[in-house]
Amino acid sequence: MKKLIGIAVSTALLAACASAPQRDDRIEQARTEIQTLAADPLAQQAANEDIQSARSSLAAAEAAQQAKEPLPVVDHLAYLAQRHAEAGEARVQAAHARADMARAQDERNRILLTARSREVSTAQMQAQNAKEQAQNAQDQLAQAQQQLADLQAKQTDRGVVVTLGDVLFDTGQATLKPGAGLSLDRLATFMKSRPQTKIVIEGHTDSVGSDAYNDVLSQRRADAVANALLSRGVPGEDIRAIGRGKGYPVATNDTQAGRQQNRRVEIIFSDDNGRFAQGDGGEPIRR
């Protein structure tokens, strides 16, 4: 009797197993891969056909499972669904790689454009600065030329020369008169606007008096003009003062008018490189 009961229970269990749906892990794996693939933002664009094929194969596998088809049949359909999902994942990864490359190229182009714009801006700024510097140089040159014109400068074989007559000093004296200030102001302004220019200041006298007396007087007068320029901000290394005495007259000493022309201070200007046409003689003035 007990044996008959055991057989009956076993038969019932087998019947229950036969009526329950078969479980296939491959179907679950395929379903998970399809869901993961479909959730990617690029999936619909890059792998839509793969998703549709994977879902169709998955549906066929699930239908075969419900119809109690043999397990190998269900397995094969689930395998096909999984392979379609894997193919879609590969396409999506390739799409992501292309998108990353495109973003990198866009960033590179943006950086190049920014650098190019900066270079253009820098070049424009440099060009503007060069233009302004050129204009300033022209303005300074015009101003310097006007200042020399105001000083009645003349071009000679020794270079540009400005002659300051004996109105700067009383007869036999080396102290500058108050009226000398305007000419010295103009001269100092010119020198400070042309820092590369140097000058030689030469003192000259008429023939009245001994050679020794006139040598000393001419040097004192040249020094007086040099000191006046120093006090107006002209650097001492740009000035040389020389007393020439009575040895270089520009007119006869036999008349009062001629002697007046010979009593003078001459300013000889260097070129823009600080060189003089006939040498610069003398030592720089030191404070």
What are the pLDDT tens digits along the chain (287 aa)?
Answer: 444 434 443 443 333 344 444 456 899 999 999 999 999 999 999 999 999 999 999 999 999 999 999 999 999 999 999 999 999 999 999 999 999 999 999 999 999 999 999 999 999 999 999 999 888 878 877 777 787 777 888 998 888 999 988 778 877 888 888 888 888 999 999 998 888 999 999 999 999 999 999 999 999 999 999 999 999 999 999 999 999 999 999 999 999 999 989 999 999 999 888 888 876 554 454 43
For residue 169, the cross-strand partners are 176
Residue 222, phi then psi, degrees to nearest 5 = -60, -40
**Which CATH number fits the domain 142-269, given the four candidates 3.30.360.10, 3.30.1490.20, 3.30.1330.60, 2.40.30.10?**
3.30.1330.60
Provide the b/e sequence for 18-57 (b: ≥16 CB within 10 Å). eeeeeebebbeebbebbeebbebeebeebbeebbebbbeb
Reference 216, options 236, 252, 239, 242; nearest CA is: 242
Helix, strand, coil share of the chain (percent; to 5): 65, 10, 25
- Who contacts 92 (Cβ-Cβ below 8 Å, separation ≥6)? 37, 40, 42, 43, 46, 47
Q: What is the CA radius of gyration of the chain?
A: 53
Residues 6+ apart with CB under 8 A from 82: 26, 29, 30, 33, 54
The answer to whether 37 touches 47, Cβ cutoff 8 Å, is yes
Torsion angle defined by CA atoms of residues 157, 153, 218 and 226, in that order, rounded to the nearest 10 degrees: -110
Which pLDDT tens digit goes with each residue over 202-259? Answer: 999 999 999 999 999 999 999 999 999 999 999 999 999 999 999 999 999 999 999 9
Q: Which residue has the tokens 């890059």?
A: 46
| Range(s) of the chain covered by CATH 3.30.1330.60 | 142-269
Q: How far apart are CA 90 and CA 85, in angstroms?
A: 9
240 phi and psi, to 5 degrees?
A: -130, 135
